[in-house]
């Protein structure tokens, strides 16, 4: 009977894992690489949060690489609309992540990016794949 | 112990069989936001249906938001090629869905769109995530 | 018997979760259709391989269709940088696949494409869906 209970416990754990997996509508990775799409992508994320009834219902990670990262450079001529949106979304819990390869290519450190970014040394595309393998749904604005 | 092993082997076999059956290749969400990609996306969907041997082998939902929705406005100067493709694809069972936020921004109602669209009040990106969480595969033309 | 069935159902669910989670982190389908994105996409794939510590840790398939396929035409004025990257990536085991519909539209055979492509007669979009249903993660450069 103890072995039986052990099996059942393992199966229940497996079932719970499956249930957790089935509920992944609330984990999303947004992928942006084109500089001209950054504003649109940030608007999509704001609409996403509103559409699910608030930031507490969704976990969103934005992974930026390639030319798109330039839109997040915190320079004196940075686009104030982008800055405002980044600030609002980070305040709502959206995580912003930057590709380490792109940061090297653009010679920027985290201090040079708006707000609070995380640097992904494995690269943006590897990070996007890893997030998907963790159950994040993929949206490409 | 042999019975126990038998049970466990059956469970593993059951898991593999279920995995093999969870064949969701036949449910696809197409996502389009750029107006210049609408014609290409509709051609992709037509090719998709042909490539699987007919509309009865696939369920396709096209979710349009952002500038792309303008290509579906049913105005006097609408592109006749787009109209024909929308008509043919809707006839083949493809579902067309429009982002409610975009409809508001473009001041259009369902009557202003070609053929038969569904309005998604939760927003296009939320809808795309929901469809993926229901097993729809994601294709971004 | 009811308890037994319950155990088996839970095991099946557990098996599915494990199958879904276990296998697909290392299988990626890259999708490219825009000619101007081909160089970027090839760079992404190179970075992907480096980011996971080498080609032995990932299986990558690139599916090209639409205008993007023109960048792979093996003509006298082909871009040498593209040719070098294709050669390096194919050497690292990346599979390159071309949409049969696009090959017809562009009147090319496999001999007209750089290196070693596979032709997908079912079409690029169908192939992308099939790969996803086999556990490949989707990245759209």
Q: Considering chain B, what is the average pLDDT of its residues?
A: 89
What are the chain B neighbours of C14 within 8 Å (beta carbons)? 11, 15
The tokens of C9 are what?
């159902």
Averaged over B68-86, what is the pLDDT?
Answer: 97
The residues near B62 (Cβ < 8 Å, ≥ 6 apart) are B29, B30, B32, B41, B45, B89, B94, B95, B96, B97
Chains that contact B by 3+ CB pairs under 8 Å?
A: A, C
Q: Report whether pLDDT(B1) > 50.
A: no
Nearest to B51 among C66, C123, C132 (CB): C123
CB of A42 closer than 8 Å to CB of A74: no
How high is the pLDDT of residue B13? 45
Give residue B99's Cα distance to chain centre: 13
CB contact under 8 A, C129 and B28: yes
Q: Closest chain C residue to B17 measured between Cα atoms?
A: C12
CB contact under 8 A, B130 and A25: yes
Burial C95-131 (b: 16+ CB within 10 A, else e): ebbbbbbbbeebebeeeebbeebeebebbbbbbbbbb
How high is the pLDDT of residue A116? 97
Distances (CA, A) of B132 to A130, A138, B7, C60: 17, 9, 34, 22
Q: Which residues of B touch A (CB under 8 A)?
A: 4, 7-8, 11, 31, 33, 65-66, 99, 101, 122-126, 128-130, 132-133, 138, 140
How high is the pLDDT of residue C21? 40
Say how far apart CA B82 and CA A64 lie, in whole Å: 33
Q: Closest chain C residue to A7 measured between Cα atoms?
A: C7
Q: Closest chain C residue to A22 measured between Cα atoms?
A: C17
Q: Are strands C95-99 and C117-120 parallel, antiparallel or unpaired?
A: parallel
CB contact under 8 A, B123 and A51: yes
Residue of B129, B131, B141 to mutate for A, most A C-beta atoms under 10 A = B129
Say how far apart CA C33 and CA A43 lie, in whole Å: 25
Angle between helices A38-51 and B124-133 (to 10 degrees): 70
Q: Closest chain A residue to B33 measured between Cα atoms?
A: A141
Give the pLDDT confidence of C88-133 residue by residue, as tens digits.
999 999 999 999 999 999 999 999 999 999 999 999 999 999 999 9
Question: What is this structure's pTM?
Answer: 0.85
CB contact under 8 A, B129 and A48: yes
Chains that contact A by 3+ CB pairs under 8 Å?
A: B, C
Mean pLDDT of each 10-residue bin along chain A, 141 residues long = 53 43 70 98 98 97 98 96 98 98 98 98 98 98 97
The residues near A68 (Cβ < 8 Å, ≥ 6 apart) are A32, A33, A34, A35, A37, A38, A41
Residue of A8, A10, A17, A125 to mutate for C, most C C-beta atoms under 10 A = A125
Q: Chain B: give the shortest CA distance to residue C138, in Å.
A: 8
Say how far apart CA B55 and CA B45 lie, in whole Å: 10
What is the C-alpha radius of gyration for chain C, rounded to an integer number of angstroms?
19
Give the pLDDT confidence of C29-87 residue by residue, as tens digits.
999 999 999 999 999 999 999 999 999 999 999 999 999 999 999 999 999 999 999 99
Nearest to C10 among A12, A31, A130 (CB): A12
Give the pLDDT confidence of B79-119 residue by residue, as tens digits.
999 999 999 999 999 999 999 999 999 999 999 999 999 99
Say how far apart CA C127 and CA C121 lie, in whole Å: 9
Of the candidates C12, A10, A22, which has an alpha carbon nearest to the alpha carbon of residue B16? C12
Could you give the 3-state DSSP secondary structure of residue B125?
helix
CB contact under 8 A, A141 and B33: yes
């Amino acid at each position: 009977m103890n072995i039986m209970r052990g099996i059942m416990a393992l199966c229940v754990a497996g079932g719970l894992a499956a249930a957790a997996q089935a509920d992944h509508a609330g984990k999303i990775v947004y992928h942006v690489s084109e500089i001209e799409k950054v504003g649109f992508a940030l608007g999509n994320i704001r609409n996403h949060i509103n559409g699910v009834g608030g930031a507490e219902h969704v976990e969103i990670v934005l992974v930026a690489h390639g030319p798109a990262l330039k839109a997040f450079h915190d320079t004196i001529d940075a686009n104030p609309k982008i800055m405002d949106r980044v600030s609002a979304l980070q305040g709502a819990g959206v995580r912003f992540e930057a590709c380490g390869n792109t940061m090297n290519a653009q010679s920027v450190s985290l201090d040079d990016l708006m707000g609070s970014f995380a640097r992904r040394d494995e690269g943006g595309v590897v990070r996007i794949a890893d997030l998907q393998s963790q159950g994040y749904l993929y949206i490409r604005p």
